[in-house]
Amino acid sequence: MRKLLEFIRSVYVTVLFILLEILALGYYARSTVYTEARLLAQTNRLFGGVNGTINDIGTFFSLGRENRKLTDRIAQLEEELSRYREMEQLTAQVTEIANNDMSKYKMQTASIVGSTIAHPRNYITLNRGQNDGVRHGMAVTTPEGAIVGHIIACSDHYAVALSILNMEFRASGCIEGSTYYGAIRWDGRNPNYVWMQDLSKYAEPQPGDRVVTSGLEPYFPQGMLIGTVEEATLNELGTTYNVRVRLAAELTRLSNLVLIENIDLYEIELLQEQVLENTNN
């Protein structure tokens, strides 16, 4: 009996270690981007405030740059607005298009509370949550209109977005002005580049061409800037291009972001579910 007790005493740490490791491994194996994002959104109730303050300090030093960018943007928008005003005088129909109620998309702004770039799965935490009307599936872009990610989890006051720099991120992109589209994904390496894969050989991408969202998936409105073509290589069979895209959004220095809600998203998803159900039956 005493020998048995002694034996147990000599190995119980190892046994405990193995048990705990199995538990942790099991938990890790079952984790997805969604469980991770939910966890982040929850813990931000605790740390979000402090993280926000730290980010505010960081933001303070980039205020000059931000301001310049905003004034540039205002100038640009003013120009566009004046063009619309002219058109308004010309035709009454334009007012209907510019009318807010007609738009399929609703926008709001948010600031970054935390973001990573150094992992295969990166997330961006924002200081707006369910109480501010943030919903799963909203697009996240820079104020200049370059895409950054989309929301996958929200708590009351915070939301977590799947960053474009997350290897699970998928979007559909195309060369501006063409109808050929490819799959956008990140390879986990350089935070300034993503890949556009399976682009038809007829698309003939040229370095410098703008890559925009195709509007084929419900998260991103059509024609939002993703980046510019850096280089394009044909695959071994010569059927499709692999395009290296320089991201328009600088994910290493983001502070303010714009959230875009597709008002029809819920309806679209409902419809897709119905189709799936019908085909399964």
Partner 1 sequence: MYRTPSYILLFIVMALSQIFLFNNLSISSYFAPLVYLVFLIMLPLELPPIAMLGLGLLTGVTMDFTMGIAGLNTIVSLAIVFVRPYWIRLLTPREDMRDEGIPSRGRLGKRLFWSYAVGMVLIHHTLFFLLESLSWAHLPGTLLRILLSSIGTLFLVGVTERIFVSHIKSQIL
Residues that bind partner 1 (CB under 8 A): 12-14, 16-17, 20-21, 24-29, 31, 35-37, 39-40, 43, 47, 50-51, 54-55, 114-121, 123, 160, 165, 187-191, 251-253
Tokens of 11: 């190995």
Q: What angle do CA 141, 145, 151 make, to 5 degrees?
A: 15
**How far is the CA of 89 from the CAs of 33, 82, 85, in angstroms?**
50, 11, 6
Our CB check for partner 1 shows the closer of 32 and 82 to be: 32
Closer Cβ to partner 1, 3 or 9, answer by number: 9
**Rounded CA gap, 5 and 23, in Å?**
26
With beta carbons less than 8 A apart as the criterion, state whether 34 and 152 touch. Answer: yes
Is-contact 115 163, C-beta < 8 A? yes
> What are the strands, taking DSSP E only, across 65-167?
105-115, 121-126, 139-141, 147-154, 159-166
Q: Rounded to the nearest whole angstrom, what is the least distance from the CB of residue 126 to partner 1 in the complex?
A: 14
Closest separation in Å from C-beta 114 to partner 1: 5
Whichever of 120 and 207 has its CB closer to partner 1, that residue is 120
Q: How many residues does the chain have?
A: 281
Give the C-alpha separation, 86 to 66, whole Å: 30
Q: Which is nearer to partner 1, 20 or 268 (CB)?
A: 20
- Which of residues 236 and 277 has its CB atom nearest to partner 1 in the complex? 236
CB of 71 to partner 1, least distance (A): 25
CB of 79 to partner 1, least distance (A): 33
Name the minimum Å distance from CB 170 to partner 1. 17
